Amino acid sequence: MQLSSDKKARRNYFKSTRERPPNEAFDWTPFRSAEKRFKAKFPRPDLSDILDLALLDNDRIEEVERGGWKGSADVSKIRPLRTIDEDGKGRNIFLLPQIPGLVLLPGYLSHECQRELVSWSLCDHARPPNETSLDTHYVLPREGIWSTHVRYRTHGEALTEQLILPRAVTSENAAKQPEPPGPRQLVSNKPADPSNFDDLSQELKLPAAPSPTVRPTRASELLYKLRWANIGWYYHWGSKQYDFKRDKVGVDGIVSQICKRIVRQINWADVFASHDTKPHQDESDWGPGGPEWESWDATYEPDAGIVNYYQLKDTLMGHVDRSEVCATSPLVSLSLGNAAIFLVGGLSRDVEPVPILLRSGDALVMAGPGCRRAYHGVPRILEGTVPPHLQSSGSEQDGWEHLAEYLQTSRINVNVRQVFPKGFDPMNSAKPR
């Protein structure tokens, strides 16, 4: 199977390069060049310059070796910080001096916690009242697509697998936003802040119209088309803004607690100070209230986010998050399943990005005015990198074998952020109290 896929990748490579204009690569920005390099199936990308912090942990060597993809633990690129967990256990976290506010916590999630989050992401979260990428086009069962899938897999031929029906194109859907013909267009949204919140929140945000071409589909097939599930405040993909007219769903306790614990454990004074103790950014970059990191241990409250479900061929194009009114508060990212290449650059695509290999159990935080406005993306999911502790032993009694089977071709990313800064009242227009 691997040999066949390699031959196919080789054929596609020579076909695409033969038809490519000779000077096309000269028009690519440094960020786009990196995306192209790591996305390529042939030739297999060289990962020797990718930061792979799992190599610093002797307990993860088996995971790295079994996966077959290996980066580099070049400590010259990073600055370690010692931190203490709430249980009193010390751990190293790492900073990239060229990207102030980026904090890497390799192997932060225990094996048990990873399993719990995988189960939560699929069994508990990808169902009402949380909207998913499938809801626009299909009438999903109330129990969620995962439970429907597992019920059939468990009972096998004793059941006729349920077909998930497409949403009918009716008068009810006529007022929804249709998908424009041709290639998808990038949406350049206005950066949200307290001064323009009132205008942005009043903009009309029509729901997307269901596709007229989808057909009834089995849950076992549709599951692998799931791409995201909303957390907290509802994110409107058509405008890349939050829709505050819709009811907010609370952030689940397990996710909120993990994110708060991570933010509290980080010594932000060390993060935002260079070796000579001078701040990396002028205080004006933080806005009129000055640096907010001094009170994050008390004021950080995650209220929005997304669970991303990647399949092996999926990518996330380089982009900037600018929908949150609070543009500096920590964004916490948790990785589960197959490893991924993560690119993070600067304020434009013209900045050369830093490639980082994120493995299952790793946590990453982006915080502060520079890092939160940095371009970032995921050009590659690395096949065969699910760690041993997420594999099925074949003897589980808790249904883990179904979750393990899903993870063989998947990566799950739980991505959580804070929309509103301290003192901002969304119900009282656009000014801090």
Q: Which CB contacts under 8 angstroms, 24+ apart, belong to 155-164?
A: 161/218, 161/219, 161/220, 162/218, 162/219, 163/216, 163/217, 163/218, 164/134, 164/138, 164/139, 164/140, 164/216, 164/217, 164/218, 164/219, 164/222
DSSP states along 277-321: S-BSS-GGGG-TT---GGGHHHH----EEEEEEEETT--EEEE--
The vertex-350 CA angle with 371 and 417, nearest 5°, equals 25
- Is position 321 annotated in a ligand binding site? yes
- pLDDT above 50 (res 278): no
Q: Give the CA dihedral 91, 96, 99, 103, nearest 10 degrees.
A: -10
Q: What is the pLDDT of residues 335-357, one digit of tens each?
A: 999 999 999 999 999 999 999 99
Topology of 24-108+249-343+362-417 in CATH? Jelly Rolls (2.60.120)
- pLDDT above 70 (res 276): no
The pair of structure tokens assigned to 198 is: 């009132």
- The residue assigned the tokens 């020579």 is 14
Cα 150 to Cα 154: distance, rounded to the nearest angstrom: 6
**pLDDT category of residue 170 using cuts at 50, 70 and 90:** very low
**pLDDT category of residue 275 using cuts at 50, 70 and 90:** very low
Which helix (H) or strand (E) segment holds residue 37: the answer is helix 30-39
Domain residue extents for the chain: 24-108+249-343+362-417, 117-241
**pLDDT category of residue 15 using cuts at 50, 70 and 90:** low
Q: In 378-402, which positions are buried (b, 16+ CB within 10 angstroms) versus exposed (e)?
A: bbbbbbebbbeebeeeeeeeeebbb
Cα 220 to Cα 216: distance, rounded to the nearest angstrom: 12
- Is position 149 annotated in a ligand binding site? no
For residue 312, report the phi and psi dihedrals to the nearest 5 degrees: -60, -30
The vertex-315 CA angle with 312 and 321, nearest 5°, equals 140
| Percentage of residues in the chain having pLDDT higher than 90 | 58
Strand 331-337 to strand 241-242: parallel, antiparallel, or no bridges (unpaired)? unpaired
> 293 vs 78, 153, 321, CA distance in Å?
21, 48, 19
One-letter amino acid at 290 equals G
Q: Which residues pair with 366 in a beta bridge?
A: 102, 331
- Is position 376 annotated in a ligand binding site? yes
**pLDDT category of residue 424 using cuts at 50, 70 and 90:** confident
Give 138's DSSP letter.
B
Provide the pLDDT for residue 226: 97
- pLDDT above 90 (res 180): no
Cα 222 to Cα 95: distance, rounded to the nearest angstrom: 39
Query: Does residue 129 have a cis bond before it (omega within 30 degrees)?
Result: yes
Mean pLDDT calculated for residue range 251-264 = 94
Provide the pLDDT for residue 31: 96
Provide the pLDDT for residue 385: 97
- Note whether 34 and 375 are within 8 A (CB): no
Overall pTM surpassing 0.75 (yes/no) = yes
Cα 104 to Cα 76: distance, rounded to the nearest angstrom: 15
- pLDDT above 70 (res 22): no
DSSP states along 191-235: PP-TTTHHHHHHS--PPBPPPSS---EEHHHHGGG--EEEEESPE
Q: What is the pLDDT of residues 210-245, one digit of tens each?
A: 988 999 999 999 999 999 999 999 998 888 888 888
